[in-house]
Structure 1
Amino acid sequence: MKEGIVLRNRQRGVSLLGLLIVGGLLAFALLLAFRSVPAVTEYMAVQRIIKTVADEGNQGATMADLRRSFDQRAYIDRVETITGRDLDIYKQGGVVVIEAEYERRVPIAGNVYLLFDFHATTLGR
């Protein structure tokens, strides 16, 4: 009978150590997420820009014009990782295709980085 009383009075829940560990992991996950947002935002801008530039190419613009147009739009959207020279521009089936592959390093702490490997393309629109 006493054993039943002792078990009911025993506290349940998360210990302080468990709470600190979960809090630390959550803080680290938030740090990674906040540091990754600019890289992903830049990739989305690159994807949007190359689609617009490819449409210009389909209307008769030259390759030099397309690279220049990309650089101008990239300057406006603050794209710093890639330039017009890094674009692969070719025609496939009479349609201008633009592809870009690039890496972006995001510093986490000290010499620890997240490495993003991006591939932007106008194929499959």
Structure 2
Amino acid sequence: MKQLAQKQRGLTLISLVLVLALIGFFTLLVLKIGPIYLNHSKVTNALAALEQTTDVETKSKYEIETILDKRFNLNYVEHVDKDDIKISKHGNYLKVEIEYERIEPIMGNLSVLVDFYEKIEVGNE
């Protein structure tokens, strides 16, 4: 009888269900959080493109907002409002900051909060 117990190996039904539940939870987490970071990469690319724009430090705040708005619309950027964008301009110095947060509900009362902050500085102070 002792020899039979030593040969038995493997997962029980309960442990198999627990492992599948963990795999399912982390898959759900990746599927919910992945698009948030994909959207943020689009914001980062728009800021990098703005930084590469010629004579961007001579443009007005309205022109910079228009450039960013066009890039955001072109790339389908979501969850970034005009209130999240701060533009500071002093002579030939330009600083653009984008700070926003995203709350994504996972299930029930479980949500994930992600904060983002990006900035570029162009020109001389």
Q: TM-score, normalised by structure 2?
A: 0.80
- Report the counterpart of residue 84 of structure 2 in structure 1: 86
Q: Percent identity?
A: 26
- Report the counterpart of residue 70 of structure 2 in structure 1: 72
Structure 2: which amino acid aligns with 1:108?
I
Structure 2: which amino acid aligns with 1:38?
P
Structure 2 residue runs without a partner (length 5+): none
- Select between 100-109 and 114-123 the one with higher mean Cα deviation: 114-123
- Report the counterpart of residue 102 of structure 1 in structure 2: 100
Q: Is the 8 A contact 1:88 1:100 kept in 2?
A: yes
Matched pairs, number: 120
Question: In the alignment, does 2:14 pair up with 1:34?
Answer: no
- Report the counterpart of residue 20 of structure 1 in structure 2: 17
Q: Is the 8 A contact 2:88 2:95 kept in 1?
A: yes
Q: Is the 8 A contact 2:104 2:111 kept in 1?
A: yes
CA separation in 2, counterparts of 1:11 and 1:27? 28
Alpha-carbon offset, residue 70 of structure 1: 0.6
Structure 2: which amino acid aligns with 1:65?
E
- Report the counterpart of residue 46 of structure 2 in structure 1: 49
Q: Is the 8 A contact 1:90 1:96 kept in 2?
A: yes
Going from structure 1 to structure 2, the CA distance change for 1:82 and 1:6 (only over 3 Å counts) comes to closer
Structure 1 residue runs without a partner (length 5+): none
CA RMSD after TM alignment: 2.5
Q: Is the 8 A contact 1:58 1:95 kept in 2?
A: no
Task: Select the structure of larger CA radius of gyration.
Answer: 1
Going from structure 1 to structure 2, the CA distance change for 1:47 and 1:74 (only over 3 Å counts) comes to same
Matched position secondary structure for 2:21: helix
Alpha-carbon offset, residue 50 of structure 1: 1.4
